[in-house]
Amino acid sequence: MMKEIIKSHIEAHIDTVRKFVNEMPDIEGVAVLCVEALRSGNKVLVAGNGGSVADAHHFAAELVGRFRKERRALPVLALDINPSAVTAISNDYAFRQVFARQVEALAKPGDVFFGISTSGNSENVLEAIKAARQAGCKVVGLTGRSGGSMKEMCDFLINIPAEDTPRIQEMHALVIHTLSDLIESTLFTP
């Protein structure tokens, strides 16, 4: 029984990877966007909920810390890292404003905002995208399923061709690693 469950997860993962390769979203374009922003002294802001906030942390950690190379830190911020701000905004306004208020405070023209939502419909991520647009940011979405409402709101949408949240999140990790590698190797290759 357990071996069948293990095998089904691996096979579903492989199937999702094959579909993703066939659709090949513009990961290179997203990397170029981030490189141009970072070279210009701008930053990357990232937000998501649940497993997607873990992905936001992962992306920020790879670029603030390092992916493979010893190099200077890059300005990338996951927007849930201040629990006082998250709880105050949620209490005083609404949870749907938890990221938008931070984007309003931190974003400037030329920054890049990443919204991560497996459904593409997380209300607080959608509100943050609106705030990022008003601030003059470029917007990247990492989604799954149909892309949800995010598909019409982003400059770049990396949509995972899957319905199952675990498969979507696995592919988001692959995208994050690929972007981290592309950004780091482009910015820090002599």
pLDDT of residue 117: 98
Please check whether residue 133 is in contact with residue 100, taking contact to mean a CB–CB distance below 8 angstroms: no
- Tell me, what CATH number does 136's domain have? 3.40.50.10490
Domain count, the chain: 1
Please check whether residue 93 is in contact with residue 105, taking contact to mean a CB–CB distance below 8 angstroms: no
How does residue 124 score in pLDDT terms, banded at 50, 70 and 90?
very high
How does residue 23 score in pLDDT terms, banded at 50, 70 and 90?
confident
Query: Which residue, 78, 120, 140, is CA-closest to 103?
Result: 78
DSSP code for 155: S
Q: Which residue has the higher pLDDT, 189 or 188?
A: 188
Q: Which domain holds residue 53?
A: 2-187
74-119 pLDDT per residue, tens:
999 999 999 999 999 999 999 999 999 999 999 999 999 999 999 9
DSSP code for 95: G
Rounded distance between C-alpha atoms, residue 86 and residue 94, angstroms = 10
pTM: 0.95
How does residue 133 score in pLDDT terms, banded at 50, 70 and 90?
very high
Token digits of residue 137: 């940011």
Token digits of residue 25: 């979203």
